[in-house]
Structures are given as structure tokens and as C-alpha cells.
Amino acid sequence: MAVRGVGPDGEPTVVLVTFGLASEGGVGARMCDSATRVPMPMVQRVVCPGSVTLRAAVLAHTAVRGASAAEPPRIRWPISGFRMTVPVTAVLLVLVLGAAVFLSQPLALLCAIPLIGNAWWQRDGALLMLQPAVIEEGQLLPSQVMARIPDEAELAGPSPLDRVDVVKAAYGRLLGDIVYRIENSALFDAAQPATSRFQVALASWDPGSVHADQLAQEVEVSFAAARGEAERLGMAHLPLTARGPAQRAVKAVRVALSDAPEAERTSAIARADETLRALALYYLPTVDRQTPSLIGARRAIEPAP
């Protein structure tokens, strides 16, 4: 992942992160701030619990406050992605010098040069001459990677129109489910207060309004409330005398929609159609034997005031 954020120096930066498996449920990660500053950010190899967010892990190990992220092509890490600590460098330097004196081999002193260089490299305020990790798509620079990560404003979520379309799609699926419509009929009864509120919200929805966000929220909230209330009531929403026939209609519909023999399904469709017509409740569906869902169109009948 390439994480876009603000570094400890207050400047925008990109942290490159690759993931791997780790033991005991943790997630292994290698991450590095791609910024060039003093001291130079180093590659971090860490193991985080699986419950930790990417934003929190990056902040904890690189001090970068992430704002957004994107999945780039494969990250190529530099070979020189580590450095020895000063104590280790000093011990190795003493051993090399001691071996050179003991063996009387002046050429062995050449082995001390990398160690001396490493010690200089780690001195306070030194600029670390490391090649940063790169994205393997023509080796993109960090600034080029940053340009490909959406900023926070672009990640604000779906538009009000998208949110209302989600509600309409969900409502449409329920309208096309004949069993649901019988068992949770309150969702389709305009005399039910929660359903009435939802229908008013749908009728008031205007994607061009300056208050589109609030209107969309009302559609979402009222739909959830109407559906929840309908499912809580279930068959209890029906008149007492209609509950037994409605339960029989549901059983018949289930047979009609099953893979039972054709004769059995035909008989079940007829029973369901006859039962629902006899109930004559405007919010219950009618049966259409020609459609796969078995739901027919019904002329809207408003309840008496």
C-alpha cells in the first residue's frame, strides 16, 4: 500500500507498506516513509495485531498521519535498507584492527574502511545516502505516487443520489418478494405511520436540492425504521381473521416457487391466488401466474381516512 499523509515535519509524504504473514495472529509489515529529511527515515519491520488499522500502524511506526491510501504496483525495496548500530560497529572495528596487528597483515586494514564509513554515516545530522523504496511501474518517484492516491475529499463516500438509489434497490427487492410482502405487510401499508414517513421521504427526494444530503438521510432513516417496524409486527399487522389465511397463502406460495412437480405448483398458485383475492387487503400482493415472482400489479387503493 502507498499511504498518503503528513510527516513529523509537517510536510506531505508517502509511506510505502508491504504486508506478510506473522505468527500468533499478527500481521507482518515492512514500511518506510519516502520523505528525504535529516535524519533519513529508515525501513521498519514490524508485527502488528490484526485488529490494528493501517492508519494507526503507520502513525505508530513512522510518525506519519495517514489520510488516504491506494494499492500501487509492486514495491521494490533498496538493498541497503539497514545499518548497524554504533556499539556493533565499534566492536567489529576493534576486532578487525586487532586481527590486522596480530596477523601482521596490513591489507587487512582495508576491511576497516566499511566500518569507519558506517560510523560516519550514523553520526548526528548526517544525510543518509540511501535509495528510497520505489514503485515498480517505471520506478515512480514519491511525488508521482502521491498524485495517484485520492485525497481525503475524494474519499467522502457515496453521493446523496447513490445513497437513495441503494434504498430504492433494497425496497424494490422486497417489493418483488411475494413471501416477504405477505409476512411483513406493514412495510407496504401507507396507513402505518413508519411506512407513511418513508413514502413521504421518497416523494420529497430531490437530487437537485441544496438539502440533498439531509433528504437522502431521511430516506435512509425512514426506510430502516419502516422495515424494522414491519418485521417486528410480522403477521400481527394483519386483521386477526386474515392471519390464518395469510399463513396458508405463504405455504402455497413457497410450494409454487419450489421445484415441486408442475401439477403441484399449479395447484399451489391457484390456492395462493384465491386466498389473497379473498382477503382483499390493498397492501397485500396479487398473484400473476405468468411472472416468475408471482406478483401481479394492483391498482392503488388508499385506506379510508
Domain boundaries, the chain: 2-80+131-153, 86-121, 160-296
Residue 50 reports pLDDT greater than 70: yes
Q: What pLDDT score does 94 carry?
A: 63
pLDDT of residue 285 exceeding 80 = yes
Residue 291 has pLDDT above 50, yes or no: yes
Indicate the pLDDT class of residue 41, thresholds 50, 70 and 90.
confident
160 CB neighbour count, 10 Å cutoff:
20
Residue 199: predicted pLDDT? 95
| pLDDT given at position 262 | 85
One-letter-per-residue 3-state SS of the chain:
CEEEEECCCCCEEEEEEEEEECCCCEEEEEEEECCCCCCCCCCEEEEEECCCCHHHHHHHHHCCEEEEEECCCCEECCCCCCCCCHHHHHHHHHHHHHHHHHHCCHHHHHHHHHHHHHHHHCCCCCCCCCCCCEECCCCECHHHHHHCCCCHHHHCCCCHHHHHHHHHHHHHHHHCCHHHHHHCHHHHCCCCHHHHHHHHHHHHCCCCCCCHHHHHHHHHHHHHHHHHHHHHHHHHHCCHHHHHHHHHHHHHHHHHCCCCCHHHHHHHHHHHHHHHHHHCCCCCCEECCCCCCCEECCCCCCCCC
Backbone angles phi, psi at 241, to 5 degrees: -75, -15
Each residue's pLDDT tens digit, 268-282:
889 988 999 999 899
Residue 52 in this model has a pLDDT that exceeds 50 = yes
Query: Which grid cell sits at 155?
Result: 474519499
- Return the closest-CA partner of residue 31 out of 69, 67, 62: 62
Where does the pLDDT of residue 135 fall: very low under 50, low under 70, confident under 90, or very high at 90 and above? low
Give residue-wise pLDDT tens across range 215-254: 999 999 999 999 999 999 999 999 999 999 999 999 998 9
The predicted model gives 182-195 an average pLDDT of 95
> What value does the mean pLDDT take over residues 191-212?
94
pTM for the whole structure: 0.49
**How many Å apart are CA 277 and CA 286, to the nearest integer?**
7
CA angle 30, 35, 37 (to 5 degrees): 120
Confidence (pLDDT) at 231: 94
C-alpha dihedral (49, 51, 55, 59), degrees to nearest 10: -40
Can you read off the three cell numbers belonging to residue 92? Answer: 567489529
As a whole number, the mean pLDDT across the chain is 77
CB 164 within 8 A of CB 259: no
For residues 75 and 17, give the distance between their C-alpha atoms in angstroms, rounded to a whole number: 8
Q: What is the mean pLDDT of residues 84-112?
A: 57
